[in-house]
Amino acid sequence: MDVDVNFETGENMVFKAKKADMRPLQVMDDAIGEDDELEDEENDLLDEQVLTLCDSCWALVEMTLHNSDVVGGIVSAGLCPRLVELLYISQSSIILAPVLRLLGNIVSAEISYSQAVIDAKLLEVIPSVMTTTSRAVREEACWMLSNIAGGQEEQVVAMMNAPGVINGLVEQMSWAEYGVKREATWAMCNIIVRANVEFVKEVVRMGVLQSFCPLLDEWEDPMVELVILEAIESLLQKDPQEGRIAVEESGCLAKIEELSYDQNDDVSGMASQLIDTWFDNEGDEVDATLAPAVVGSEQTGEALNFQPVQSDVQFNFNQS
């Protein structure tokens, strides 16, 4: 059997598998250990089976990209639980990367397909997958989660409630390589836009705004900058008072002010809009509290009543 897929990248590469490679894993497990002389042979066969499984997954990845009916066929055939099972039993990035890419293609196709993957216990295993040392595996995992987070509210809630998923994303945002951090940030931004105010307060407490700052400053990635700005706007809409304080104290406001002069028109326009809508009057509010009352003014309209900004505002991130 010839498979034209590279193990790591999915690029074309010919690999020829023997018929013996296609034996079920259980048969292989039963054979190993029965005869010491067969141990090396069985290990070699198992390695070839791993490579065959890898190439099979990459082949399905390519097929799902070019034919949406293939995704439906995979789901209808009941392969989603089997694919998720591979995430539980395999430690090899050669297997994990293509399986995650295939699952990502499935969840991004239709909402019902995404639910089928969630029902197969995907969210329970993803936190452990995100602890692997493989950059490619962690990037694929975060990309898949960003696709789920862009779906229905029930699926976003499932992500929020799944133990370790949000913590895993926040951790990748704080220290991971750029490609991983980018996908984790995209997933978190999708969640923030759809989450309730109490959840948003919680992830702010976990430091997501501080993790946004480098992506607004160092990498010059307009797509990610727009996604982050949209998430910050959603945060401000849900919790204007504490949100403004959090955005400023995290350093995001300074980055947004810099982006208002960005060469990308979409980025600069959205940054300017955020400043004009949520921060432009802050200085006026403070000045109004310090200004003396005007006596004998000729103006007859109602006076504006600016309330001073309280310096002792405390964040309340407790979940309801």
DSSP secondary structure letters along 189-221: HHHHHHS-HHHHHHHHHTTHHHHHHHHHHTS--
Cβ-contact 49, 25 below 8 angstroms: yes
- Write down the pLDDT at residue 48: 82
- Write down the pLDDT at residue 46: 62
Residues 6+ apart with CB under 8 A from 143: 100, 104, 183, 186, 187
**Nearest alpha-carbon partner for 96 in 162, 50, 149, 146:** 50
Residue with tokens 């926040």: 170
* Structure token digits, residue 151: 């779906």
d(CA 134, CA 138): 6
Q: Which residue has the higher pLDDT, 23 or 90?
A: 90
**Nearest alpha-carbon partner for 211 in 161, 169, 244:** 169
* Structure token digits, residue 114: 């995404």
196-248 per-position pLDDT tens digit: 999 999 999 999 999 999 999 877 899 999 999 999 999 999 999 999 999 99
Cβ-contact 227, 185 below 8 angstroms: yes
State how far Cα 143 lies from the chain centre.
6
Confidence of residue 106 (pLDDT cuts 50, 70, 90): very high
Secondary structure of residue 3 in the 3-state scheme: strand
**Nearest alpha-carbon partner for 58 in 1, 135, 126, 6:** 6
Domain ranges within the chain, ordered by starting residue: 204-288
User: What b/e string do you get for 29-59 counting C-beta neighbours within 10 Å, with b at 16 or more?
Assistant: eebeeeeeeeeeebeebbebbbbbbbbbbbb
- φ/ψ of 2, rounded to 5, equals -105, 130
- Write down the pLDDT at residue 242: 95
36-73 per-position pLDDT tens digit: 545 554 554 468 888 888 999 999 999 998 888 999 99
d(CA 302, CA 248): 31
**Nearest alpha-carbon partner for 109 in 77, 141, 81, 67:** 67
Entry pTM: 0.74
User: What b/e string do you get for 270-281 counting C-beta neighbours within 10 Å, with b at 16 or more?
Assistant: bbbebbeebbee
DSSP secondary structure letters along 56-95: HHHHHHHHHHH-HHHHHHHHHTT-HHHHHHHHHH---HHH
